[in-house]
Chains A and B, each alone.
Chain A
């Protein structure tokens, strides 16, 4: 009976270290019962346990070997418990009486450490709320499925666990350390410390000289001289010089790590994070270090001068893998709420919550100021807060409407101020006009008010309660970060061409961020069913003997529904659309979706009592007379893992127990949610989701860069090879994956549509741009792009409907009416359209350039939007997209009037009732050399269309001018697969 190696076990724990982290089994202890318990392979462990010792319910969600591993580990722990040992993790608590949480808590506490609680346990605040985010794993694309690096990670974990005990380091930073697996254990250790000293460290500028013995003959392979000679692993950082004489930042050397047993470590005086200033009194920087050190040719004492520096920030060098940029780190800090001050933005920005009712007699100066962020109360905007109060108070008298926004010139800068009044209280948000225009200002206000209502019930309960201020700081910090810092980045991005483009992903698109809806990725039918099943399993709350029902206890919460996000996109939702919007706003406002799409998260657990709009703020006519939604309390549980986020809305009361006090997150539900996510990760759903997102179904869009007319003929030859436009035209699939920061290895193996290559495939490409893939059959994905796809799954065309669209002579409105009649979600509609595209093939080829560049479909009924996924496109396309969103925002704004009018609101005299708007743009390529002749001109339309029936939907399409009318009609008609 071969013994299960400790390494292996530890490794498994490592896989699930978030759940079983801080397990404080020492190795010897573990060996003790590890040997009595198991016999080698995982399968045996599994079956042993299932048949014998415990009624394992692993089968419900253990579908793959990795998962079995995982579950058996939790059972091993339980087993040890039954043997009378104290080792315990929260999985062990499954079988405990649920109401006995105090007692199980005491179980935890009588252990030798706090390690057996869930890692997030100490983050739960007094109100029972939790916001816990662990930093991403980066070099572990699929840790749960990878069984190979056992020994290494074994070391890591033990080391880092010991370290944790010693230094009490944060888990967040701890995990960042995993980046450097190859460096050996001590290195990892160091790295963690290294990561800990940051901008937050205390300033200590003492300079010290250290003598080390450098031996150039001691050869160490493949490392820098610095490492070889001193045992210092160099890192680089940018010194922001305060010397006026030296304005340019310099790349300085930072002690990023110490080689175990190296000279530096032995000296004991060199600490990680020190700035290596001089070597033998020679000033060193990143560039000259090697030349200086190469001068040391014989073994001798070398004087190193170091400064304990804390003001420096690190710029992650290439050796860190370049995946985890400082920006990511900072983002994680911001999102996790660790840091609630953003890098000082010079532009004025302010949030205030003011009240009219202040006891003016006894009042102190700032009695009317209930909340303010940023905290400096001496800013100009805070000083003039009385003005905002007066304006919002007075305008209804003058105009009979509430004040919405105003513009002030403050410190030579134009500032937009948005208002939201609630009773006698007023929320004021001020943002600089050069970053946020008035359209966006209104959206910011709307979304903030909604978020506050959902999170706290009302504005006054949000801002009135001083306890909330921490959370509010967090919220507004992220909001400002999003609005001010990011827009700066994206504007820079436009200039520098070598940057990665995320710009057509929702991340950088302000319009989409400020919408209440989230991006939806329609999945293939089979996949969708599978995902839905996984979610349903979870939502049914039928955990058999782990569930409360089993013990005849009234359940704590009933699950109202859940929604699953992958990389910031909604994959599946079982929530009411209004609830989905609420959840989406929450995730959006706290940048959870952002984080989940750019980083893969270590672990995310959020728990918050919420006040869903549908239940608390909106009077909805009951569907059934006499039926009312149950009164109760609602809780939002968000669990994230890697790129997945699962948001669950829980209801207390109703059929569940009536909830009292401030319940903290229930580890059981958290684990079930995690298990659901793990199941997603392990099943084939994961890989297919990835494929879907990197290559979503739907019409193919082309890049604007390919569409400049000059390409076709005469201008082709004179263009010099080095011209910037040539540089980006070839886009092979490989480069795309390579460049994409989210490119996962798995996606390479997936069937990918061939990217259109610029010229030879032009015609095919034109046709392809309008082809829609059959959702019911994912296998056609690879062939779907080809017009020669057999027509076997196409129905015979239903000519009467088709002619309405294609004829066009009958006028637009007629065809629109027709569309309203037919169910837009009918799959036959899609098939029809395939047919239709086929029919129009000839016409299209003769018409020539009619390419679809981009589209956006907002479905207000489902609370989602659809747009093409992120693909690497040229700079001109990026600009086009920016323009697209800027203008779509305006059109969207106009449509709001029509929607209001449709819903029986006041009818705007002049621009009400608008159902379609189009703008024709003309653009010339970016960076067109000045000495060239006329730059080629591309004309394209941005068209928005509003459908009020059968459900409110907005579709925006961007296509090249000259597209045949029937093709454009078709684009709108399909709605881009908002099939739910």
Chain B
């Protein structure tokens, strides 16, 4: 499936860069030209070309700050409209802001220089775009705009470690990441916007492995023009602590403190890294037919998401999708249900963005649960208050049981003390 992300100057239509999925063929220059051309042509007639679709692909166009034209070509993945693409486009632009700064994106003086420098974003962009299999990253974050979390009973202890460490760093922003998933974070960190949370944890996870780093970041909402420093330190394999701070303290200073503060937490850290890929406490037993689920809290922008919920994988039965397939299924199911049924609840927000696939349903009818049965799997989605739960089942579960099992699962997950969403 061909997927592309193109960036051109808005004024002259000069191609700056484009990213494509590894197996997509290269786009020829004339095609890039006409992709941009149609949009520019429409603009000169005061018409804004927003999107186009074929059977399996969506295209969206958007101009950011009169400076950059971004064109995104992406697979449909179960979504019929382009709500998710537009959201995704926004995220991609913010990823560029995060690493390059809004100021420089708005005023590109030298195209050649920009082409060289923007390369710092490629890693993050690629990861956002194509969910590169090299990284064990979130597979829902970019569409749900919630940050992946990991939950173990030891989190409460780790919270204390983090709080005291952050004080040393003289910054209220700190979090503990386990392979890109947030184990604990300070309240300030949680106050960042959803996009920032998603981008930051994704960024840390996509950078090359190292024991500590110090990189400038522009928070897309908080301070898009003034860079902050993102300091990360690897505590144990796969577990990193991140701090966002101002000019001080220096990396070296803080590195010395790491040892002192986190020395005693080794057992807890080991426990939390063992929770991968289950991501929630092993004490919780869920229905055997559950192949994966995503529990979202749309208010706090946190998400608990797994495709390997059971400790002993019963691989004996055939017809059970692989974990990669499960991710894809859960992802499509989310997009399909969210766009078509659940999103109506907050339509007022959507209206501004031009919700194009939504229709006028009666306002006092709102969807609660959705299920879907396919030849290879069954899915169930439910929303209660600001929680949404999306569950992927194997076909062994009878359809009539879906509702009750899903409700039970929801209760188990939300009542569990160690799961804080």
Of the listed residues A396, A811, A893, the one surrounded by the most CB atoms of chain B closer than 10 A to its CB is: A811
Is B38 interfacial (CB 8 A cutoff)? yes
Q: Which residues of chain B have C-beta atoms less than 8 A from A386's C-beta?
A: 41
CB pair B374 A912 closer than 8 Å: yes
Enumerate 15 A-B pairs (CB-CB under 8 Å) in ascending A order.
Answer: A390-B38, A398-B4, A401-B54, A402-B54, A406-B53, A407-B354, A408-B42, A408-B47, A410-B47, A414-B354, A439-B357, A886-B359, A893-B80, A912-B374, A916-B373
User: How far, in whole Å, are A921 and B364 apart by their CA atoms in the complex?
Assistant: 10
A880, A912, A914: most-surrounded residue (chain B CB, <10 A): A914
Within 665-681 of A, Cβ neighbours of B (below 8 Å) are at none
The proximity string for B residues 335-376 relative to A, scoring 1 for CB distances below 8 Å and 0 otherwise, is 010001100000000000010111111101111111111111
Across the interface, which residues of A come within 8 angstroms of B371, CB to CB? 916-918
Interface membership of A394, Cβ < 8 A: yes
Residue from the list B54, B78, B374 in contact with A403, Cβ < 8 A:
B54
**Does A44 touch B at the CB level, under 8 Å?**
no
B215 sits at the interface (CB 8 A): no
At the interface with chain A, which of B88-96, B235-243, B324-332? B324-332
Given contacts A397-B31, A439-B357, A494-B362, contact A405 B80 (CB under 8 A): no
**Chain A residues whose C-beta falls within 8 Å of the C-beta of B34 in the assembled complex:** 390, 394
Q: Which listed residue, B41, B328, B331, touches A387 by the CB 8 Å rule? A: B41
A399 with B56, Cβ < 8 A, contacts A914-B374, A923-B364, A965-B400 known: yes
Q: Which chain B residues in 33-61 approach chain A with CB under 8 Å? A: 34-35, 37-38, 41-42, 45-57, 59
For the complex formed, measure the closest distance between the CB of A484 and the CB atoms of chain B, giving whole angstroms. Answer: 14
Tell yes or no: A795 within 8 A of B by CB.
Answer: no
Q: Are A407 and B358 CB-contacts (below 8 A) given A384-B41, A387-B42? A: no
Inter-chain CA distance A383–B46, complex, in Å, is 11
Residues of chain A contacted by B41 (CB below 8 angstroms): 384, 386-387, 390
Which bucket holds chain A's interface residue count?
A: 35 or more
The contact of B45 among A384, A883, A912, A917, by CB within 8 Å, is: A384
A915 touches B80 (CB 8 A): no
Choose from B46, B55, B399 the contact partner of A404 (Cβ within 8 Å): B55
A433 to B48, CA, bound (A): 14
Determine if A812 and B54 form an interchain contact, defined as CB atoms under 8 angstroms apart. no
The size bracket of the interface on B is 35 or more
Per-position 1/0 for B113-134, Cβ under 8 A of A: 0000000000000000000000
Q: Is the CB of A384 within 8 A of B42?
A: yes
Interface mask (A906-921 → B, CB under 8 Å = 1, otherwise 0): 0011111111111111
State which of B38, B51, B375, B400 has its C-beta within 8 Å of the C-beta of A812.
B400
Count of chain A to chain B residue pairs whose CB atoms are closer than 8 Å in the complex: 204
Given A399-B57, A879-B364, are A917 and B399 also a contact pair (CB < 8 Å)? no
Cβ A921 vs Cβ B332 within 8 A = no
Task: Mark each residue of chain A from 417 to 460: 1 if its CB lies under 8 Å from any CB of chain B, else 0.
Answer: 00000000000000001100111000000000000000000000
Instruction: Say yes or no: A922-B366 contact (C-beta < 8 A), given A398-B73, A882-B361, A914-B374.
Output: yes
Say yes or no: is B234 at the interface (Cβ < 8 Å to chain A): no
Q: How far is the CA of A489 from the CA of B259 in the complex (A)?
A: 71
Residue B2 interfacial (CB < 8 Å): yes
The answer, among A380, A394, A396, for a CB contact under 8 Å with B47, is: A380
Q: Does A391 contact B (CB under 8 A)?
A: yes
Q: Is the pair A917, B373 in contact by a Cβ cutoff of 8 Å?
A: yes
Q: Could you say which residues of chain B place their CB within 8 Å of the CB of A915?
A: 373-375
Interface residues of A in 870-891 (CB under 8 A from B): 879-880, 882-883, 886-887, 890
**Residue pair B369, A406 in contact (C-beta under 8 Å):** no
| B381 nearest in chain A by CB position | A919
B364 to chain A: which residues have CB within 8 Å? 879, 923-926
Identify which of residues 810-831 in chain A touch chain B, using a CB-to-CB cut-off of 8 Å. 810-813
Residues of A within 8 A of B54 (CB): 395-396, 399, 401-404
Shortest CB-to-CB span from B205 to chain A, Å, is: 24
Given contacts A394-B35, A917-B370, list 6 more A-B pairs with CB under 8 A: A390-B38, A394-B38, A409-B48, A898-B374, A914-B373, A917-B372
Q: Are B398 and A438 in contact (CB under 8 A)?
A: no
Please tell me which one of the listed residues B357, B365, B376 contacts residue A437 in the complex, with CB atoms under 8 A apart.
Answer: B357
Instruction: Give the 10 A-B CB pairs with smallest separation, nearest first.
Output: A910-B332, A406-B52, A920-B369, A401-B54, A409-B48, A812-B399, A916-B373, A913-B375, A879-B362, A399-B57
Docked-complex contact B332 and A438, CB < 8 angstroms: no
**With an 8 A cutoff between CB atoms, is B154 at the interface?**
no
Q: Is B81 an interface residue (CB 8 A)?
A: yes
Rounded to whole angstroms, the CA-CA distance of A965 and B404 in the bound complex is 13
Tell me, yes or no, whether A316 is within 8 Å of chain B by CB.
no
User: Does B255 make an interface contact (CB < 8 A)?
Assistant: no
Assess whether B80 is in contact with A439, with CB atoms less than 8 Å apart. Answer: yes
Measured CA separation A406–B398 after assembly (Å) = 40
- Are A409 and B354 neighbours in the complex by a CB distance under 8 Å? yes
Indicate whether B77 reaches chain A with its CB closer than 8 angstroms. Answer: yes
Distance between Cα atoms of A444 and B2 in the complex (Å): 28
In the complex, whether A416 has a CB less than 8 A from a CB of chain B is yes
A400 CA / B57 CA spacing, docked (Å): 9
Distance from B130 Cβ to chain A, minimum over Cβ atoms (Å): 15
Contact of B356 among A380, A437, A912 (CB under 8 A): A437
The answer to whether B31 touches A910 (Cβ under 8 A) is no
A939 touches B (CB below 8 Å): yes
- Which residue of A391, A400, A808, A811 is within 8 Å of B2 (Cβ)? A400
CB contacts (< 8 Å) of A968 on chain B: these are: 400
Chain A residues near B354 (CB-CB < 8 A): 407, 409, 414, 433
The reply to whether A923 and B368 contact each other, CB–CB distance below 8 Å, is no
* Residue A324 is within 8 A (CB to CB) of chain B in the complex: no
Flag if B368 contacts A408 (CB, 8 Å): no
Question: Which of A386, A390, A434, A437 lies at the interface centre, i.e. has the most chain B CB atoms within 10 A of its CB?
Answer: A437
Complex contact A920–B78 (CB within 8 A): no
CB distance from A508 to the nearest CB of B (A): 14
A887 and B400 form a contact (CB under 8 A): no
B106 at the interface (CB under 8 A from A): no
Shortest Cβ distance from B340 into A: residue: A890
**A923 B365 Cβ-Cβ under 8 A:** yes
Q: Which residues of A contact B4 (CB under 8 A)?
A: 398
Q: How far is the CA of A810 from the CA of B400 in the complex (A)?
A: 11
State whether A923 and B399 are in contact (beta carbons under 8 Å apart), knowing that A394-B31, A409-B354, A893-B80 are contacts in the complex: no
Chain A residue with Cβ nearest B360 = A491
Q: Are A398 and B78 in contact (CB under 8 A)?
A: no
> Is B27 on the interface with A (CB-CB < 8 A)?
yes
Does A809 reach chain B (CB closer than 8 Å)?
yes
Establish whether residues B328 and A909, one from each chain, have CB atoms under 8 Å apart when the complex forms.
yes
- Tell me whether A920 and B365 are in contact in the complex, defined as CB-CB below 8 angstroms, given that A398-B27, A404-B54, A812-B399 are known contacts: no
Inter-subunit contact B372/A391 (CB<8 Å): no
B395 contacts A by Cβ under 8 Å: yes
Residue of B nearest to A946 (CB): B373
- The answer to whether B35 and A398 have CB atoms under 8 Å apart is yes
Asked if A894 is an interface residue, CB under 8 A from chain B, the answer is yes
